[in-house]
């Protein structure tokens, strides 16, 4: 194997050492502002002395939280203010920028452009100056070339982002309170893209529920060609009428809806002589798919790896921002928010070299494959998603990546390499058989294919998006996967005119099936086809639908909740344009025109806002029972409530959420005999005695699984977390049996506990020698179920004693904290600490000796700083 392949790495040919960049004149130190700390660390190592790289931690300014912040009468002029959690970040950037040249290197998209515009404005710099740089990939060569060629901030991109933000605010500010008022629930929201995506899910679910399966029958014949050869074929036509296997009757087609019809035809076909009337053979080529765009990456990661769209984008962000390799910190993939399949000529040539080296010249097409977007309106601002250096094989960098990073990089690498390989070649054969006679009545068809040449399947595996990608090297065994994807077996050699004897004919019953539920992959694909949303919005949209409780996940599929259905029906009735597919897609096109400088953004916003206002004015208002004025949603320190708009003259208020009445379940309390009822608590529904507080009996509410608890004999219930994930728990609160995996009907041969669905079956009993400790929940924090039990009055269990190796023993002094290694990332948040905490943290960072009281303050300060850093990083990624 070549040396480059063994290492998985290659010399990138940057030829640039640290220090002053080639061709640069002596100049003042430069401050480079990026979005995330991880990206800042990577770029700082690449630029070296003379450059200071700081992170803005995402958006630094936005519309105000509790006000509309948009002056509709002045062309929707927005009012921006520094975000509360970013005031200290902005102050740090101001101090760092004094006397320095400023370069803004936020992400290369319209959102990054808007963040850069805010940073320039807050630091007192003119956005028309050349201070904006873009890193489409984070490698030393590209980063150093980019900082030498800054440009002014693109106002068209900023305006496009402003238009989207203003539209989202106008919709959210007006619709979200309206939904909370209508459904008397907190934290409801509506959006231009999210509400349309929810409509897709709801309408698909209703289509599934309305579907009525229909029975149909097919015939399968087995023909003897000679003594050694047999051929299976399906009935294709009867007297020229082709068999129809779809829903309902179809004109001109034969639909076998009853078993009697199928058996009558089978009986009629038996005993007839048949002959091969046609043998058609042809070569079929299958071309490789293009490199990934954002949507196709999310689709493939969902289908092949089981990742959600949000998880895929978080992993891709890390691969883009930089990974520590022996040669230095480098981004492994290009920018991951793109709708283009374009690839640079240099990357194409490098891919061809890798194909020749790893797979051989026979897999290399004569000329590079150049892909073009079929869909109109693609921005083509970035390349497709590809490895920054395709010579870095997945196995070569695996030890520097987490498992999920490796799997996603492997997927991206394989897709890019496969896109520059030759077609897969199949030999396909179709055989038609007819009964002999003056007027042939039956026509049977058999087809088969043989994979002659793997082509791109050698790297990509399956030719479709489904299935699992084998964890094999580029040389290993993908031909079988490609052949299986065709679903056809080879046919025996046969010549036209060959006589065939019908040995057997079978009737087979089938039922039509409803359309499948959406997954992340299919929903993103449908949104892209309809023109709803853009690459940067797919993942956040799906994540918002889950957070709001509009959608739950069942395995990989997405199902709308009752609340999601109610919200969709309400919006379709009251705001039909907000959830209209065509209207939403047209608005996306208009917003793209703003980005291209072809339309002024206030005009585009008005095109949406004017009809929206008309629909909003038709919604009946909820009125105050005292004075008749409209009620509105208000917020206090205790949460949301309904209040009269006539305040202070009228002080009427009422709670937003009405308490749900207890619902009898038809069972008697095992403790006192009174009826049991279903109640709603802080953590969801539970079963309790109607005689409370005289009787304190409670148990969990959930769907019985039919399994008995192996600890106490109670029923095991299937419950769902707030995020919709299923788990399995004993109904008795005094029992701590809990499983995150479904229980199987099989029992453990060693201990008798029911096995759980983990692999081929795993034992959950910690006392069993076959037990896997990873199956138990982490003991670091009390579960929500334990908190719920305590809230209902269940006795608190005594915590187990911890030895000296697991925790500080009583009376033992805590070891002094060590100076934090991530201090530079924590410094921007110091302004949000109390003065004494900030002083203790700074002393710790300088290595000064601390008293026990100061050490305690320093620990508390570090915990707060890391929490704030984590929240800011999550916001920057999303």
| Widest distance between CA atoms in the chain | 107
Q: Cα separation of 729 and 749, whole Å?
A: 22
pLDDT, tens only, 807-831: 344 344 456 677 787 777 787 777 7
Closest among 131, 52, 64 to 93, alpha carbons compared: 52
- Other C-beta atoms within 10 Å of 566: how many? 17
Strand positions, DSSP E, 10-100: 30-34, 51-55, 61-62, 70-71, 77-78, 81-82
Packing angle of the helix pair 309-321, 852-877 (nearest 10 deg): 110
Separation CA 263–CA 615 (nearest Å): 59
pLDDT of residue 722: 60
Per-residue burial over 274-308, b if 16 or more Cβ lie within 10 Å, else e, is bebbebeeeeeebebbbbbbbbbbbbbbbbbbebb
Question: Which residues of the chain are under the pLDDT cut of 70?
Answer: 1-27, 374-381, 462-488, 682-684, 722-724, 774-816, 873-878
Q: How far apart are CA 677 and CA 675, in angstroms?
A: 7
Q: What is the pLDDT of residue 711?
A: 86
pLDDT of the residue at 438:
78
Q: 551-554 and 557-560: which strand pairing?
A: antiparallel
The Cα–Cα gap between 171 and 184 comes to: 19
Query: Catalytic amino acids?
Result: 335
Contact 118, 80 (CB under 8 A): yes
The whole-angstrom separation of Cα 69 and Cα 87 is 19
Percent of residues in the chain assigned helix, strand, coil, to nearest 5:
35, 20, 45
The end-to-end CA distance of the chain, in Å, is 41
Cβ proximity of 559 and 206 under 8 Å? no
Q: If DSSP codes are grouped into helix, strand and coil, which group holds residue 323?
A: strand
Which long-range CB contacts under 8 A does 353-357 form with residues at least 24 apart? Answer: 353/391, 354/390, 354/391, 354/417, 355/417, 355/420, 355/421, 357/2, 357/4, 357/5
Q: Specify the residue for token string 């192996």.
A: 710
Between helices 581-595 and 520-530, what is the axis angle to 10°? Answer: 70
Give the 3-state secondary structure of residue 834: coil
Q: Report the SS3 class of residue 387.
A: strand
How big is the CA angle at 788 (ends 785 and 790), to the nearest 5 degrees? Answer: 115
Check residue 656 and give its pLDDT. 83
- Quote the tokens at residue 781: 């924090």
Query: What pLDDT does 785 receive?
Result: 44
pLDDT of residue 795: 42
Confidence at residue 806, expressed as pLDDT on a 0 to 100 scale: 38
Its pTM stands at: 0.74
Pairing between β-strand 51-55 and β-strand 30-34 as defined by DSSP bridges: parallel
What is the pLDDT, as a whole number, of residue 426?
A: 92
**Count of CB atoms within 10 A of residue 582's CB?**
10
Q: What is the rounded distance in angstroms from the CA atom of residue 864 to the CA atom of residue 845?
A: 15
Q: What's the Cα-to-Cα distance from 580 to each of 254, 353, 509, 606, rounded to whole Å?
A: 38, 48, 40, 17
H-only helix segments in 473-600:
479-486, 520-530, 538-547, 562-574, 581-595
HSE toward the beta carbon, residue 220, CA cutoff 13 A: 8
Report the 10 Å Cβ neighbour count for 518: 24
- What does the radius of gyration of the chain's CA atoms come to, in whole angstroms? 33
Let me know: does 730 contact 715? Beta carbons within 8 Å: yes
Give which of 709, 708, 702, 705 is closest to 678, Cα–Cα: 702
The whole-number pLDDT of residue 713 equals 85
Q: What angle do CA 385, 387, 328 make, to 5 degrees?
A: 130
Give φ, ψ of 54 to 5 degrees.
-120, 155
Cα–Cα dist 756/762, whole Å: 5
């Amino acid at each position: 194997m070549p040396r480059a392949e063994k290492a998985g790495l290659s010399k990138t040919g940057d030829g640039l050492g640290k220090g002053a960049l080639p061709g640069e004149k002596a100049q003042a130190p430069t401050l480079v502002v990026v979005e995330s700390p991880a990206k800042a660390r990577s770029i700082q190592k690449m630029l070296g002395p003379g450059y200071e790289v700081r992170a803005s931690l995402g958006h630094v300014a936005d519309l105000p939280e509790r006000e509309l912040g948009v002056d509709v009468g002045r062309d929707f002029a927005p009012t921006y203010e520094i975000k509360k959690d970013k005031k200290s970040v902005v102050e740090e950037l101001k101090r760092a920028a004094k006397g320095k040249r400023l370069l803004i290197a936020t992400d290369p998209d319209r959102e990054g452009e808007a963040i850069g515009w805010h940073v320039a404005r807050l630091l007192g710099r003119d956005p028309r100056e050349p201070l904006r740089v873009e890193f489409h990939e984070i490698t030393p060569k590209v980063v150093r070339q980019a900082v030498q060629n800054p440009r002014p901030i693109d106002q068209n991109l900023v305006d496009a982002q402003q238009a989207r933000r203003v539209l989202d605010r106008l919709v959210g500010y007006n619709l979200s309170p309206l939904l909370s008022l209508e459904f008397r629930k907190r934290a409801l929201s509506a959006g231009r893209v999210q509400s349309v995506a929810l409509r897709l899910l709801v309408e698909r679910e209703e289509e599934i529920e309305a579907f009525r399966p229909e029975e149909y029958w097919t015939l399968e014949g087995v023909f003897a060609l000679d003594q050694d050869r047999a051929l299976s074929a399906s009935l294709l036509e009867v007297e020229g009428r082709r068999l129809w296997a779809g829903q309902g009757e179809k004109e001109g087609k034969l639909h076998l809806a009853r078993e009697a019809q199928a058996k009558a035809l089978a009986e009629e076909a038996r005993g007839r002589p048949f002959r091969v009337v046609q043998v058609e053979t042809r070569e079929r080529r299958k071309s490789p798919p293009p490199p990934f765009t954002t949507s196709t990456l999310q689709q493939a990661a969902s289908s092949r790896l089981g990742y959600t769209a949000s998880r895929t984008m978080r992993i891709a962000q890390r691969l883009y921002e930089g990974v520590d390799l022996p040669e230095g910190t480098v981004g492994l993939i290009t920018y991951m928010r793109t709708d283009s399949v374009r690839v640079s000529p240099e990357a194409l040539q490098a891919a061809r070299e890798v194909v020749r080296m790893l797979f051989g010249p026979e897999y290399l097409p004569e000329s590079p494959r150049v892909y073009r977007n079929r869909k109109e309106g693609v921005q083509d601002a970035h390349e497709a998603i590809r490895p920054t250096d395709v010579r870095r094989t997945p196995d070569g960098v695996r030890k520097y990546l987490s498992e999920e990073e490796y799997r996603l990089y492997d997927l991206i690498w394989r897709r890019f390499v496969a896109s520059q390989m030759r077609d897969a070649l199949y030999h396909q054969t179709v055989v038609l058989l007819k009964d002999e006679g003056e007027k042939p009545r039956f026509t049977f068809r058999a087809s088969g294919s043989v994979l002659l040449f793997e082509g791109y399947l050698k790297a990509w595996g399956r030719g479709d998006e489904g299935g699992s990608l084998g964890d094999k090297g580029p040389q290993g065994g993908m031909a079988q996967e490609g052949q299986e994807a065709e679903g056809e077996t080879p046919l025996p050699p046969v010549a036209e005119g060959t006589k065939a004897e019908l040995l057997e004919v079978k009737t087979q019953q089938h039922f039509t099936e409803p359309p499948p539920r959406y997954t992340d992959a299919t929903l993103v694909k449908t949104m892209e086809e309809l023109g709803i949303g853009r690459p940067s919005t797919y993942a956040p949209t799906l994540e918002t639908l889950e957070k709001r409780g509009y959608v739950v996940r069942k395995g990989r599929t997405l199902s709308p909740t009752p609340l999601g259905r109610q919200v969709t029906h309400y919006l379709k009735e009251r705001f039909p344009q907000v959830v209209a597919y065509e209207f939403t897609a047209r608005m996306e096109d208009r917003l793209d025109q703003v980005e291209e400088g072809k339309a002024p953004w206030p005009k585009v916003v008005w095109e949406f806002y004017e009809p929206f206002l008309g629909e909003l004015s038709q919604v009946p208002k909820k009125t105050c029972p005292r004075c008749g004025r409209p009620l509105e949603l208000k917020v206090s320190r205790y949460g949301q409530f309904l209040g009269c708009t006539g305040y202070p003259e009228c002080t009427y208020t009422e709670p937003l959420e009405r308490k749900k009445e207890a619902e009898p379940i038809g069972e008697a309390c095992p403790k006192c005999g009174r009826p049991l009822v279903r109640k709603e608590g802080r953590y969801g529904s539970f079963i309790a005695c109607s005689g409370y507080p005289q009787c304190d009996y409670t148990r969990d509410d959930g769907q019985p699984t039919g399994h008995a608890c192996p600890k106490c004999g109670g029923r095991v219930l299937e419950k769902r977390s707030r995020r919709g994930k299923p788990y399995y728990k004993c109904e008795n609160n005094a029992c701590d049996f809990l499983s995150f995996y479904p229980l199987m009907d099989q029992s453990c041969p060693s201990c008798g506990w029911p096995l759980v669905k983990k692999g081929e079956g795993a034992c959950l009993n910690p006392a069993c020698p076959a037990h896997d400790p990873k199956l138990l929940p982490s003991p670091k924090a009390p579960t929500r179920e334990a908190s719920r039990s305590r809230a209902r009055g269940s006795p608190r269990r005594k915590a187990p004693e911890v030895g000296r190796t697991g925790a500080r023993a009583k009376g033992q002094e805590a070891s002094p904290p060590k100076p934090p290694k991530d201090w530079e990332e924590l410094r921007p948040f110091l302004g949000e600490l109390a003065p004494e905490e900030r002083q203790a943290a700074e002393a710790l960072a300088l290595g000064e000796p601390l008293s026990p009281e100061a050490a305690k303050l320093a620990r508390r300060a570090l915990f707060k700083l890391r929490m704030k850093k984590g929240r800011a990083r999550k916001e920057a990624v999303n």
